[in-house]
Chain A
Amino acid sequence: MKPLEPISFGARLALGLLFFVVFVAAWSLATFGGFVSKTFLADPLTMIDEGRILIVRYGFLGDIAITIWRVVGGFVLAAAVAVPLGVLMGAYKPVEALLEPFISFARYLPASAFIPLLILWAGTGELQKLLVIFIGSFFQLVLIIAVTVGGTRRDLVEAALTLGAKDSRILTRVLLPAAGPQIAETLRLVLGWAWTYVIVAELIGSSAGIGHMIIDSQALLATGQIIFGIIVIGIIGLVSDFLFKALNRRLFAWSTL
Chain B
Amino acid sequence: MSKLSVENVSRQFPAPRGGAPVPALLPVDLTVADNDFLVLLGPSGCGKSTLLRLIAGLDRPTTGRILLDGRPVSAPGPDRGMVFQSYTLFPWLTVADNIAFGLREKGLDEASVKPIISDWLERIGLAGFGNHYPKQLSGGMQQRTAIARALATDPAILLLDEPFGALDNQTRGLMQEMLLSIWEKQKKTVIFVTHDIEEAVFLASRVIVMTARPGRIKAEIAIDLAHPRHYTVKTSSEFSALKARLTEEIRSEALLAAHV
Interface residues of A (CB under 8 A from B): 153, 155-156, 158-166, 169, 173-174, 177-178, 180, 252, 254-255, 257
Task: Report which of A163, A166, A173 forms a contact with B153, defined as CB distance below 8 A.
Answer: A163
- The contact sample of 24 A-B pairs, CB cut-off 8 A, is A155-B86, A158-B56, A158-B88, A159-B82, A159-B84, A159-B88, A159-B90, A160-B90, A161-B75, A162-B57, A162-B81, A162-B82, A164-B77, A164-B78, A164-B105, A165-B105, A169-B105, A177-B92, A178-B90, A178-B91, A178-B92, A254-B91, A254-B92, A257-B133
Instruction: Give A257's nearest chain B residue, CB to CB.
Output: B135
Which residues of chain B have C-beta atoms less than 8 A from A153's C-beta? 88
Instruction: Take A158-B76, A254-B135, A257-B133 as given contacts and tell me if A163 and B105 are in contact as well, using a CB distance cutoff of 8 Å.
Output: yes
A61 vs chain B, min Cβ distance (A): 41
User: What 9 new A-B contacts, CB under 8 Å, besides A162-B76, A178-B90?
Assistant: A158-B84, A163-B105, A163-B150, A163-B153, A164-B153, A165-B101, A177-B90, A254-B133, A255-B91
Instruction: Take A164-B78, A180-B92 as given contacts and tell me if A257 and B153 are in contact as well, using a CB distance cutoff of 8 Å.
Output: no
- Taking a contact as CB atoms under 8 Å apart, the answer to whether A173 and B91 are in contact is no
Interface size on B, residues (CB 8 A): 27
B24 vs chain A, min Cβ distance (A): 17
Which residues of chain A have C-beta atoms less than 8 A from B106's C-beta? 164
Q: Does B80 contact A (CB under 8 A)?
A: yes
Instruction: Take A173-B105, A254-B135, A257-B133 as given contacts and tell me if A162 and B150 are in contact as well, using a CB distance cutoff of 8 Å.
Output: yes
Task: Report which of A156, A254, A255, A257 forms a contact with B88, defined as CB distance below 8 A.
Answer: A156
B52 vs chain A, min Cβ distance (A): 11
- Taking a contact as CB atoms under 8 Å apart, the answer to whether A162 and B56 are in contact is yes
Instruction: Give A158's nearest chain B residue, CB to CB.
Output: B58
Which residues of chain B have C-beta atoms less than 8 A from A174's C-beta? 90
Interface residues of B (CB under 8 A from A): 56-58, 75-78, 80-82, 84, 86, 88, 90-93, 101-102, 105-106, 133, 135-136, 149-150, 153
B139 vs chain A, min Cβ distance (A): 15
Instruction: Take A254-B133, A257-B136 as given contacts and tell me if A163 and B91 are in contact as well, using a CB distance cutoff of 8 Å.
Output: no
Which residues of chain B have C-beta atoms less than 8 A from A180's C-beta? 92
Which residues of chain A have C-beta atoms less than 8 A from B92's C-beta? 177-178, 180, 252, 254-255
The 6 A-B residue pairs with the shortest CB-CB distance, nearest first, are A164-B78, A163-B102, A161-B76, A162-B82, A159-B88, A177-B92
A196 vs chain B, min Cβ distance (A): 33
Instruction: Take A164-B153, A173-B105, A257-B135 as given contacts and tell me if A156 and B90 are in contact as well, using a CB distance cutoff of 8 Å.
Output: yes
Instruction: Report Cα–Cα, A254/B42, bound state, in Å.
Output: 38
Which residues of chain A have C-beta atoms less than 8 A from B88's C-beta? 153, 155-156, 158-159
Which residues of chain A have C-beta atoms less than 8 A from B86's C-beta? 155
- Taking a contact as CB atoms under 8 Å apart, the answer to whether A162 and B133 are in contact is no
Which residues of chain B have C-beta atoms less than 8 A from A173's C-beta? 101, 105
Instruction: Report Cα–Cα, A140/B170, bound state, in Å.
Output: 50
Instruction: Report Cα–Cα, A257/B136, bound state, in Å.
Output: 8
Which residues of chain B have C-beta atoms less than 8 A from A155's C-beta? 84, 86, 88
B117 vs chain A, min Cβ distance (A): 14
Which residues of chain A have C-beta atoms less than 8 A from B135's C-beta? 254, 257
- Taking a contact as CB atoms under 8 Å apart, the answer to whether A162 and B136 are in contact is no
A51 vs chain B, min Cβ distance (A): 45
B72 vs chain A, min Cβ distance (A): 17
Which residues of chain A have C-beta atoms less than 8 A from B101's C-beta? 160, 163, 165, 173
Which residues of chain A have C-beta atoms less than 8 A from B90's C-beta? 156, 159-160, 174, 177-178
Instruction: Take A155-B86, A177-B92, A254-B92 as given contacts and tell me if A163 and B133 are in contact as well, using a CB distance cutoff of 8 Å.
Output: no
A33 vs chain B, min Cβ distance (A): 53
- Taking a contact as CB atoms under 8 Å apart, the answer to whether B91 and A164 are in contact is no
Instruction: Report Cα–Cα, A160/B102, bound state, in Å.
Output: 8
Which residues of chain A have C-beta atoms less than 8 A from B81's C-beta? 162-163
Instruction: Give B146's nearest chain A residue, CB to CB.
Output: A159
Task: Report which of A162, A166, A178, A254 forms a contact with B80, defined as CB distance below 8 A.
Answer: A162
Which residues of chain A have C-beta atoms less than 8 A from B133's C-beta? 254, 257
A96 vs chain B, min Cβ distance (A): 22
Which residues of chain B have C-beta atoms less than 8 A from A178's C-beta? 90-92
Which residues of chain A have C-beta atoms less than 8 A from B56's C-beta? 158, 162
Instruction: Report Cα–Cα, A162/B81, bound state, in Å.
Output: 6
Instruction: Give A160's nearest chain B residue, CB to CB.
Output: B101
B105 vs chain A, min Cβ distance (A): 5
Which residues of chain B have C-beta atoms less than 8 A from A162's C-beta? 56-58, 76-78, 80-82, 150
